[in-house]
């Protein structure tokens, strides 16, 4: 009977996960809806807001500026990097969230079913701990640590992405365009955000994630971010927030320019082997920088990009002459 129940749950969760893991928009909506139903799972709201940023970055690749400095195959590799990373995280995280929802509904933990989805032993331990302690912040940090390790081997260390993106001029250009900065907008036209340097290092990405979580749920700012999320349906375009800054639409919506990508999950490995540094990452507090309101910086960066690209195109034109 137990085995029959397990098979039924696995089948149902795999179906739901596949249904929502279609593209950037569906993932963003799923995370946001899940948080609305289960606000104690703070990571879900963080995931929805970070997923919005991924959508904006994807659509930028088909916008006005990136195609002027990068070749078509470079743009495609960047898109596939965003898409693969977010698909991989969702593929791992959604079953965890859905199992939690079922556990909550039945008032009986079935989080041990995570093993059927090759979820790390680290998260299995952390979910069971959460059910006992209700430590929402610790669970959010644990999910951040897990997601960054989940993408480490199939993405950051994958020979194709390493060569074509993370160790190439493409990533340098992308970084200069400031798209390694994660932005949290408000409908009042203000932007808050944080950046990461040394993106290839797992520890740096985890630290950024923890800081973003701390910023997102900061008592002074949370209501503004949540109101934006509840008000603005994601389209994968920076116009989602730039319209509140008085900007005209420049970039396309992500579903207008990208097809559905069919992914195949390679065999997952359990990244967690009781590493002591993981516990240190989990328990280390983070401090937000003094400057988290970045509206003026963002405006300046836009101007800098325009001038830089126009100057480069002018030089190219002079060279051809």
Cβ proximity of 48 and 28 under 8 Å: yes
Tokens for 158, please give them: 């994958």
Cβ proximity of 112 and 6 under 8 Å: no
Cβ proximity of 238 and 71 under 8 Å: no
pLDDT digits (tens, 9 = 90+) for 160-212: 544 555 444 445 555 545 556 899 999 999 999 998 766 667 888 899 999 99
The C-alpha atoms of residue 312 and residue 306 are separated, in whole angstroms, by 10
Tell which residue, 100, 120, 121, has the closest CA to residue 109: 100
Which residues, other chains included, contact 318 with Cβ-Cβ below 8 Å and sequence gap of 6+? none
Tell which residue, 162, 156, 109, has the closest CA to residue 132: 109
The C-alpha atoms of residue 28 and residue 19 are separated, in whole angstroms, by 13
Residue pLDDT tens, the chain, 321 long: 568 888 999 999 999 999 999 999 999 999 999 999 999 999 999 999 999 999 999 998 898 888 887 788 888 888 988 899 999 999 999 999 999 999 999 999 999 999 999 999 999 999 999 999 999 999 999 999 999 999 987 676 554 544 555 444 445 555 545 556 899 999 999 999 998 766 667 888 899 999 999 999 999 999 999 999 999 999 999 999 999 999 998 889 999 999 999 987 777 778 998 888 899 999 999 999 999 999 998 888 777 767 666 655 665 565 565
Cβ proximity of 181 and 294 under 8 Å: yes
The C-alpha atoms of residue 249 and residue 238 are separated, in whole angstroms, by 8
The helix (H) or strand (E) run that includes residue 202 is helix 202-216
- State the burial class of residue 126 (Cβ atoms within 10 Å of its Cβ: 0-12, 13-18, 19+): buried
């Amino acid at each position: 009977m137990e085995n029959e129940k397990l098979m039924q749950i696995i089948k149902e969760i795999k179906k739901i996960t596949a249904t929502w893991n279609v593209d950037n928009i569906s993932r963003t909506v799923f995370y946001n809806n899940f948080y609305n139903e289960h606000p104690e799972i703070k990571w879900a709201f963080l995931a929805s807001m970070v997923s919005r940023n991924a959508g904006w970055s994807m659509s930028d690749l088909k916008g006005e500026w990136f195609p002027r400095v990068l070749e078509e195959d470079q743009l495609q590799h960047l898109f596939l990097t965003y898409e693969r990373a977010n698909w991989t995280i969702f593929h791992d995280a959604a079953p965890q969230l859905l199992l939690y929802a079922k556990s909550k509904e039945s008032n009986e933990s079935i989080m041990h079913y995570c093993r059927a989805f090759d979820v790390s032993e680290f998260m299995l331990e952390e979910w069971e701990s959460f059910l006992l302690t209700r430590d929402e912040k610790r669970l959010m940090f644990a999910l951040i640590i897990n997601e960054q390790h989940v993408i480490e081997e199939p993405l950051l260390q994958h020979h194709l992405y390493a060569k074509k993106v993370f160790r190439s001029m493409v990533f340098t250009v992308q970084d200069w365009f400031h798209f390694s900065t994660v932005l949290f907008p408000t409908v009042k036209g203000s932007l808050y955000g944080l950046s990461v340097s040394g993106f290839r290092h797992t520890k740096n990405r985890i630290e950024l994630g923890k800081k973003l979580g701390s910023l997102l749920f900061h008592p002074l700012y949370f209501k503004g971010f949540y109101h934006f999320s509840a008000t603005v349906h994601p389209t994968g375009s920076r116009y989602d927030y730039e319209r509140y800054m008085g900007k005209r639409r420049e970039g396309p919506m992500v579903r207008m320019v990208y097809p559905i990508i069919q992914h195949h999950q390679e065999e997952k490995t359990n990244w967690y082997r009781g590493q002591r540094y993981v516990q240190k990452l989990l328990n280390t507090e983070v401090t937000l920088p003094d400057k988290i309101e970045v509206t003026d910086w963002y405006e300046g960066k836009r101007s800098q990009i325009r001038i830089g690209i126009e100057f480069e195109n002018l030089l190219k034109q002079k060279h051809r002459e």
